[in-house]
C-alpha cells in the first residue's frame, strides 16, 4: 500500500461489473465528500472502464447526486466486459485484443483528473491494482451482491440481495405447503454460497446447496423423503447457481454461434427439480431469482455501509493513500492493498459459524 503526497484537485469515480444495490449511495458519498469537504472537482466515468477507455466522462455536482441514496442501479452506468488491459479492437479489419491501459490513463490526465475511485468486485479491483502499478492514484470500493470479495467482511449490496432472496423464499413456503411440493429456489453465487447460506438459514430452508460443498443427490433425496414420511409434506431447497453434484460440473450455457459470448452459470435449479422428482416421485418446482436480486432499493444497512465506504475512499486519497481498497472489518472501516485482493475470492469455510448453526437446527447441506 503506497503513499504519495501530491495535490489533488479533481477525482473520477466509476462503477464497474454487475449492477448492485448501493452503487448510487457510494457515488453520492464520494461526490459530496469530495466537493463539500475538500473542494474537489468530480467526474463520473460512464459505463465503468469502458468510459475510461472511450473518454466518456462528465462533471458531477451536488445536484447530480442528490436524492439518489435510495435508488438502485447506477446513474453513471456500468460494464462487465471492458478491460483496459485486454480490450477488443478492430485493427485493419481484424479483431484484436489490445492493451489500452496507457490510453485510458492519458484520458484521465487530459481531463485534469488526478485520482480515481473504482467501485467494483474482484475483477474490477484486479484491474484497479494493475492501474495502480502504472502510477495511477486509485482507491477501490468493494461491491458485489455475492459477498465473495477478499479482504473485507462485507461488501455493500449483499445485505439487500439476502433480504430479497429471503423474502422470495418466505413466499415460496406458503405455496409449497399448500400444494405439498418440493420447491427449489436458485439464487446467485458463482463460486461462493454466501447468499444461499444467509437467505436459506434466515428463511428456514430445509436444504442449502452451495458451491463450496459438492452435494450428494442421494443424500438430498433421502433427507426430503424422510421429512415426507414424518408428515412434512413439503420441502424448501435453496441452491447457489454455482452448486454442483459430487463428481459433477457446474451447469452453464453459452451461444455456440458467438465465440465472444461469455459462459454463464444457471440451470441447476431446474436440473435439481428433475432429478429429485425422478428419484422421489414427489412433485417439484424450480424458481430462479436471477437478476431480481440485483435490483431495487438498497436496505438501510447497505445505504449506510456504502456511505461509509464512499467517504473513506475520498479521505484515503486526500491522506496520500493509493493502491488500496476500503474494507469492513468487524464494525470498523479499514483498508487493504489492492494487490492483496486481486485474483482472490472469499469463500465459505467449513468452520463457518452460521453453517454450524444451520446444521444444528437440522438443515441439510447435501452431504
Which residues belong to the active site? 146
Q: How many residues does the chain have?
A: 367
CA angle centred on 70, ends 66 and 72, rounded to 5°: 110
Measuring CA to CA, which residue among 319, 293, 294, 313 is closest to residue 28? 313
Pick left, alpha or beta for residue 138 (phi over 0 → left; psi -120 to 50 → alpha; otherwise beta).
beta
Cell 470500493, residue? Answer: 141
Pick left, alpha or beta for residue 17 (phi over 0 → left; psi -120 to 50 → alpha; otherwise beta).
left
Query: How much of the chain is helix, strand and coil, in % rounded to 5?
Result: 35, 25, 40
Q: Which long-range contacts (CB under 8 A, 24 or more apart) does 96-103 make?
A: 100/53, 101/130, 101/131, 101/134, 102/134, 103/53
Residue 78, all three cell numbers: 456500468
How far apart (Å, rounded) are the C-alpha atoms in residues 333 and 186?
32
How far apart (Å, rounded) are the C-alpha atoms in residues 151 and 118?
16
- Three-state SS annotation for 155-171: CECHHHHHHHHHHHHHH
Amino acid at each position: 500500500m503506497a503513499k504519495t503526497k501530491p495535490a489533488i484537485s479533481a477525482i473520477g469515480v466509476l462503477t464497474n461489473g454487475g449492477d448492485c444495490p448501493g452503487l448510487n449511495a457510494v457515488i453520492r458519498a464520494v461526490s459530496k465528500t469530495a466537493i463539500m469537504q475538500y473542494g474537489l472537482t468530480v467526474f463520473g466515468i460512464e459505463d465503468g472502464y469502458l468510459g475510461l477507455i472511450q473518454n466518456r466522462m462528465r462533471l458531477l455536482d451536488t445536484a447530480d447526486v442528490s436524492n439518489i441514496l435510495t435508488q438502485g442501479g447506477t446513474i453513471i452506468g456500468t460494464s462487465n466486459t471492458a478491460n483496459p488491459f485486454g480490450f477488443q479492437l478492430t485493427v485493419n479489419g481484424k479483431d484484436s485484443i489490445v492493451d489500452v491501459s496507457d490510453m485510458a490513463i492519458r484520458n484521465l490526465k487530459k481531463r485534469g483528473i488526478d485520482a480515481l475511485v473504482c467501485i467494483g468486485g474482484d475483477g474490477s479491483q484486479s484491474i484497479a491494482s494493475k492501474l495502480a502499478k502504472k502510477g495511477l492514484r486509485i482507491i477501490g470500493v468493494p461491491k458485489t451482491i455475492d459477498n465473495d470479495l477478499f479482504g473485507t467482511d462485507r461488501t455493500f449490496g449483499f445485505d439487500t440481495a439476502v433480504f430479497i432472496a429471503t423474502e422470495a423464499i418466505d413466499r415460496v413456503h406458503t405455496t409449497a405447503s399448500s400444494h405439498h411440493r418440493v420447491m427449489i429456489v436458485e439464487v446467485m453465487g458463482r463460486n461462493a454460497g454466501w447468499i444461499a447460506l444467509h437467505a436459506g438459514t434466515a428463511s428456514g430452508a430445509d436444504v442449502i446447496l452451495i458451491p463450496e460443498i459438492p452435494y450428494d443427490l442421494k443424500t438430498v433425496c433421502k433427507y426430503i423423503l424422510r421429512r415426507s414420511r414424518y408428515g412434512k409434506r413439503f420441502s424448501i431447497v435453496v441452491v447457489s447457481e454455482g452448486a454442483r453434484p459430487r463428481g459433477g460440473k457446474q451447469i452453464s450455457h453459452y451461444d455456440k454461434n458467438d465465440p465472444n459470448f461469455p459462459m454463464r452459470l444457471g440451470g441447476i435449479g431446474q436440473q435439481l427439480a428433475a432429478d429429485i422428482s425422478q428419484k422421489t416421485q414427489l412433485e417439484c418446482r424450480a424458481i430462479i431469482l436471477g437478476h431480481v436480486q440485483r435490483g431495487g432499493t438498497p436496505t438501510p444497512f447497505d445505504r449506510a455501509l456504502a456511505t461509509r465506504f464512499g467517504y473513506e475512499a475520498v479521505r484515503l486519497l486526500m491522506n496520500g493513500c493509493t493502491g488500496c481498497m476500503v474494507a469492513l472489518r468487524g464494525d470498523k472501516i479499514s483498508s487493504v492493498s489492492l494487490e492483496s485482493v486481486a485474483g482472490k475470492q472469499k469463500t465459505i469455510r467449513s468452520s463457518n459459524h452460521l453453517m454450524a448453526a444451520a446444521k444444528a437446527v437440522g438443515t441439510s447441506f447435501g452431504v
